[in-house]
Structure 1
């Protein structure tokens, strides 16, 4: 049965009565976490706790910057109302058909908190999927740091739903702060391998390769990108990242061929702007400035707010010694993605700003 345009409105209706985050292939419903009266007295009621955990899950999946898009719906926490309304209005068939129509994997997350004899808060997390036994996870934390505990619960929920997203989250947050410590990323990838289907291991090989590349090991990273492409031979991320490794190895013509390959297979255009930007940067390194500018402007026409485009363009101007133009591009990169300290750090370095003299960006 195909409900067509009704599919998303039906799921949106369901999510009015729970905390729901819906991606392209996953529906996560976070239901009530029961809380004892002693914890509720501190202000952390069941509703508050459930929303904190749901919010953490949503933040983590957003910061992971994966290829999956999210559609968050609703933030009430009374899943029991959903069940009664579904039965009352005979929409159970509609909801299940909507999920099937989208090919979604559905997760229902719930749990409880108790206070141990030493005052520690113990959290039980129940992860349910259709036709599978409930997976139970336990965490503990200090009552003095409840927000930290709820964020860790959010990480556990994310790992239960998609362990790759946790690895990507750790990788991206390391980049955000300009860190070269990817130990959490590596640990998360290793934890993900047995939980991710073999047919999807190209994502893990690709991320491992990126980690190696960030650590200054481009030759080793290429081997991981090759492994990813053995699983999915038209995987544009690994072709693109192979090109990045070749730039690090100063094999610019070979890198350009990779970026052109990405553009040729990127039918939906998700990677084209990044491939054009890196291709333009490689042209700069080959001292083909005119060609480089044409490619940067072509990328700009696709999305003038892409922060990485402006950052790479800034690197190209800096390579050419055009520091004012570089500073302007770094300014735009920082404006469009203020979470990446690398962008603002390079702006300060090139423009001569200090933390005190850094202007307000607009």
Structure 2
């Protein structure tokens, strides 16, 4: 049985995870050139920064990024509700509450993964957000934190989230260790427990549950969907090897029949966007730093990365750097995965 229908439930079959310093608006525009259907997430933006800090520029995005969700961090129900209203006014399609980040900065603010120890507060936060907006309100969590037993904690946590009016949840299939592990180690060291997340889907059939953590290929995403999950969220693999994950996603995950475009097509599609960004006073590097992995696995990938990474940071760098980088990738191999050693 599938979860409930909301405007983004289909898009959530495949999503790109919110990643601090990575999934900014330039990255999302780039990813959108590869998939028209996948759901994209912003970096986490804290509710205090929006509500008390006046950092409305953090909400900037191009409408072409849609469907796009804003991920919020925070622990004050009223503040989160106000931030959610700001997200709705800005035109986002969804607002998501971060309940899984274990970083020291997030812990010091008493939000993120820390909130998994406070399900009543989580329910209050989500209830206020749901009441404040018409957008879908979702949550992203871990299976537990520290010494918690996920088999006990996760079902109770999902019950609290559901009672707050949230029907769509992304579950990172690892524990978060709030002390003893760095954020990077928390992405790799705690073991993945995919069976537990799949069991949650069986126990909460009416909820739309996406699985996250360790998914490296589109084949793995398809396997999770075939096993009964409503959605799959992919993080680092989608950023580091975007063509591998996103170029064929619309056909394989969403059933589109139009032929997939090539990595070279994507680079060409980025030209007008980059030109506008440069004309507005932006730097080439701000955009192209997200494009380094476009040709990962293809002949010429190393040259593409080198030309972009070295050339884009030079003062006055423009589209000629992109052109020079494209010259390192044989036209005959675009869109085809070739020499993995390149």
**TM score, norm. by length of structure 2:** 0.34
**TM score, norm. by length of structure 1:** 0.32
